[in-house]
Amino acid sequence: MAKLQKPKFAYMGGKIRSWDEATLHVGCEGVIRCAHVFEGVKGYWQPDGKFGIVMLRQHYERLCRSSRLLHIPFSHTYDDFKSAIYELIGLLLEPDRDMWARPTLFAIEGHWGEDTVSDLVVTAFHQDKQLPQSINLGVSTWQRSSDVSLPSRVKTGTNYQVGRLAKIEGRRHGCQDMVLLNQWGRVAEATGSCLLIVREGVVCTPPVTEGALESITVDIVEALAHSLGVKFDRRPIDRSELLVAEEIATCGTLCEVTLVKSIEGIPLVNDGSILESLQNSYHQAVRGIVPHSFVELSYLPSKLVSVKTG
């Protein structure tokens, strides 16, 4: 299991700071009530030497929606948000390593939602370039909370408590990730990604109303599937369908399209499969090898790239 990286810098309070300086007060609501919302965005080196961040505007828009739902004010314009991410990534970039950034909006002042003041904090980490390894997937006994307890469309750390418990449970059974069911016992999503299954040649994923995040990667995969002539359906998925699915993958910004090699200990065959083709199309689109019109890339201005790319 990879350790959490400790990069040199983070963005906080409107400027770049050293990692050790980027701290929150123990009394703020961001800490004591986990009042924060966040995003995970990913950037890839492109064949022409540029560095492209995938669907940055869509991530900004989801952060705005999450902040509205949790009453955490967010005053950054898209341009402010983009500049903060560009500045930090520009400082941390290394040749030939991709990066993911975590912009988080913390409640740093206020009490029980009154007089809330927020701060945008950005951290960013390096990632290797290889395709994600196939995983063993289990089904957790922990459940995604319902829309009236903690809406899954809010991307907040609190929603990841259940995912954390599910991961701990999964490790006991040799599973790298776990499916979370919803309050009706149907498939919601995985701990930090959405779920795709193939039934009779159709790629299916549960709609957001089944307890999944409004995923940007699922939207990309849907567009790629259409281009490949593969049918794509957003519909409720029973737990038992996982066991009879032809193929399964998890899908999200960080895990991209990660193929599942076994579900609850039952092996799945992935060679030459539909999801493997989608995994490759995704890989090629975000890395600009075979660009796709749906996949928007925001390029880091070259003046901000401090790394020597040769």
Residues in touch with ligand PMP (CB under 6 A): 40, 189, 192-194, 213, 215-218, 252-253
CB of 109 to ligand PMP, least distance (A): 27
Measuring CA to CA, how many Å separate 238 from each of 72, 125, 186, 211? 35, 36, 5, 13
Identity of the residue, 61 or 264, whose beta carbon is nearer to ligand PMP in the bound complex: 61
Smallest gap from Cβ 252 to ligand PMP, in A, equals: 3
Helices (DSSP H) in 37-186: which residue ranges? Answer: 56-69, 78-92, 160-172
9 or 38: CB nearest ligand PMP: 38
Minimum Å distance from CB 71 to ligand PMP? Answer: 21
Number of residue whose CB is nearest ligand PMP: 217
The minimum distance between CB 299 and ligand PMP, in angstroms, equals: 20
Closer to ligand PMP by CB, 43 or 252: give it. Answer: 252
User: Closer to ligand PMP at the Cβ: 70 or 218?
Assistant: 218
Reading the block at residue 159, the tokens are 């929603």
Tell the smallest beta-carbon distance from residue 125 to ligand PMP (Å): 14
Instruction: Please identify, using beta-carbon distances, which residue of 108 and 196 lies nearer to ligand PMP.
Output: 196
Specify burial of residue 25 (Cβ count, 10 A radius: 0-12, 13-18, 19+).
exposed
Round to whole Å and give the CA distance between 178 and 191.
Answer: 6
Residues 6+ apart with CB under 8 A from 226: 232
Burial (Cβ within 10 Å: 0-12, 13-18, ≥19) of residue 201: exposed
